[in-house]
Amino acid sequence: MTVLRHPNNQGVTLTQWRKTAAGGETSLSGTDDFGAGLVYTAGAEQVFVNGVLIERGVDYTASTGTTVTGLTALVAGDIVTVSSPSAFNVANAIPKATVAAKGDLIVANGAASVTNLGVGADGTTLVANSSAGAGVSWTTPITLANPIINGGMDVWQRGSSISLAASTAYTSGWTADRWQAATGTGQATTVARYATSDSTNLPNIQYCMRFQRNSGQTGTALIGFVQNIETANSIPLAGKTVTLSFYARKGADFSAASNTLGTYLYFGTGTDQNIWSGFTSQSSSVLNSNLTGTWQRYVLTTTVSAANTQLAIGFFYTPTGTAATNDYFEVTGVQIDLGTYTATTAPAFRRSGGTLQGELSACERYYERVAPGVTYGYFGRAQVYSSTGINAFIEFKTTKRVIPTAIDASGSFFMNNGASQANLTGSFTLDAGSTQKVGSVLNTVSSLTAGTQWSLGANNSAGAYIGFSAEL
C-alpha cells in the first residue's frame, strides 16, 4: 500500500492498494502485493486495471469498504490498483444538525461560537437585539401608526406653559395638544414644554412634558394627565397584545413615595368617551415605575380584549408632604405598538402623524387655534345678522373629528367692510351653523345695518385667537 499525503499537510491521505492478478479474478479483497489489506472509502474509490481507470457501477461494484466485485475476469499479469482518500473532518466545521427545520438560521452567540435561531413566524423580520442570546431576534414589522397623538410633546397650541389652579374638586384642563391634566385641593400645578437635552439616553426626541406641583402646595391626592384615544384609533388594537412604551425622569424634589409613577392603560366598550367621565365597562392595566433623575424607557405590555372599543392612557403620581421647588416628573416618547417588547427592543419612537406637520394636523383634528397671519389680519368673512350681532365664518385648516363643541378666544377683535371699522365687544359663542370644515361664531356689535357683509379681524400683536374644540 502506498500512502500519499496532501501537499499542505491538511490531514488528507490517499491510499493505493495494488495487486498483480493471477488470472480469472472477478473480485478483489484481502492483502495486496505489499501485505496491506484492502480498505477504501465507498463512493470515493477509484479502480485502475493496468493504469486505465474503470467506471464505478458499470465495470465494478464497491460498497463494503473492503471488497470490490463485479469485475470482468482479470488476465494473469494484470496490475489492479484501488486508490482511495481517507475520511476526514474539516476543522471547526459546523454540523448540519445545528439547524432543525426549514428556515432556521445559524447565528453567532459569541466569539467562535454559533447556535440555531429557529425560523420566525410568517411576516416577521430579523432585527438586531443586544439582549437576545444570539444578538438578533424575530419581530413583527411596524404596520400600525402610533395611536398616541403628540406623544413627543411637540405641539402646544394652547400655550407652552399652562397653569392649573388648585380646586376644591378634582378638575381637568387641557395642556399640550391631546393631553388633559387634573388637579385637586391644594394642588396648583404647572404643565409646560421643556427641551429633553439628552442625546444619549433619549435620542432624537426634542421635547417633553413637565408636570409640576407648584412649590408650597400641600395637596396629596393622585394627580396627573391622560390622553383619550378615539374609537376609530382604538379598534385596530382590539384582541391584540400591545406594548405601551415611554421615556420618563423625575425632578430632584419629586415627592411620590419610592419615586413611583403610575402608568395606566384604560379599556372600555363605549364610543368616543372621556376617561374623566368614566368608560363603559372600564378596566385597566397598570405599570408602577420607580423614576430616577436620568431618562429611562419603560414598557407596559398587556392584551386588549376583543370587546374593547376605546382606550386611554394616563400618568399619575401621589405626592407627599409640601411641594418643594422641583416636585415634578417629565414624560415623552409615548407610543403603542402591536406585540411584546422590552424597553430595549421596543421600536424607536415615531410620531403618529409621521412628520411634525402631520402631527400638527392630527392635533388640529381635535383642536385648532386660529389666528390672523399679520398684525392686523383677518379670520374670514362676517355678516351682520341684526343691528346688534354678527355671524363670522372661519375656515379650518384641518377637518375636525366632529362639528366643534366649544370655543375659546382671546384678544381685541374688529370688523371691517373696506370703508369703516367696528370694534367687537363681549365674548364669542359657537353657532349651530358650524360644520367640521367651517366654524361659525357669533358676537355683538352696535348700530350696524343687518345683512351687510364685513370681514372679521384682530390685532395679532396682542396674540388674538379663536380656538375650536372637537375633543372627546
Where on the phi/psi map is residue 30: left (φ > 0), alpha (ψ -120 to 50), or beta? left
Order the strands of the 223-229 sheet from edge to edge: 171-174, 180-183, 223-229, 310-317, 260-268, 283-290
Write down the architecture of domain 161-354 according to CATH: Sandwich (2.60)
> How many Cα atoms occupy the beta-carbon half-sphere of 72 within 13 Å?
9
> All 3 cell numbers of residue 365?
383634528
What residues have CB less than 8 Å from 31, skipping those under 6 apart? 37, 38
Count the neighbouring beta carbons within 10 Å of the beta carbon of residue 42: 13
On the question of pLDDT at 168 being above 80, the answer is no
Pairing of the two strands 328-338 and 207-213: antiparallel
Phi, psi of 392 (to 5 degrees): -110, 145
Task: Average the pLDDT over 46-68 and give the result.
Answer: 96
Tens of pLDDT, residue by residue over 13-52, are 788 999 999 999 999 999 999 999 999 999 999 999 999 9
3-state secondary structure of 283: strand
pLDDT tens-digit readout, 346-405 = 999 999 999 999 999 999 999 999 988 777 788 889 999 988 899 999 999 999 999 999
- Where in the chain are the domains? 2-85, 96-139, 161-354, 367-469
3-state secondary structure (DSSP) of residue 358:
helix
Average pLDDT, the chain: 92
Residue 383: strand, helix, or coil: strand
- Output the nine-digit C-alpha cell for 274: 372621556
Q: Which of 87, 25, 35, 33 is nearest to 60 (CA)?
A: 25
pLDDT of residue 72: 95
In this predicted model, which residue has the larger pLDDT, 292 or 385? 292
The better pLDDT of the pair 175, 99 is held by 175
- How far apart (Å, rounded) are the C-alpha atoms in residues 268 and 75? 96
Can you read off the three cell numbers belonging to residue 302?
398587556
Would you list the DSSP string of 6-75? -TT--S-EEEEEEEE--S----B-SB-TTSPBP---TTT-EEEETTEEE-BTTTBEE-SSS-EE-PPPPP
Query: Rounded distance, CA 427 to CA 160, Å?
Result: 24
Joined together, the cell numbers standing for residue 32 give 495486496
3-state secondary structure of 275: helix
Question: Shortest CA distance to 183 belongs to which of 165, 199, 196?
Answer: 165
pLDDT in tens, 194-209: 999 998 998 889 999 9
pLDDT at 272: 98
pLDDT for residue 8 is more than 60: no
Give the model's pLDDT for residue 9.
47
Residues belonging to the chain: 472
The amino acid present at 62, given as its one-letter code, is A
Rounded CA gap, 468 and 440, in Å?
10
- Closest among 459, 455, 442, 454 to 373, alpha carbons compared: 459
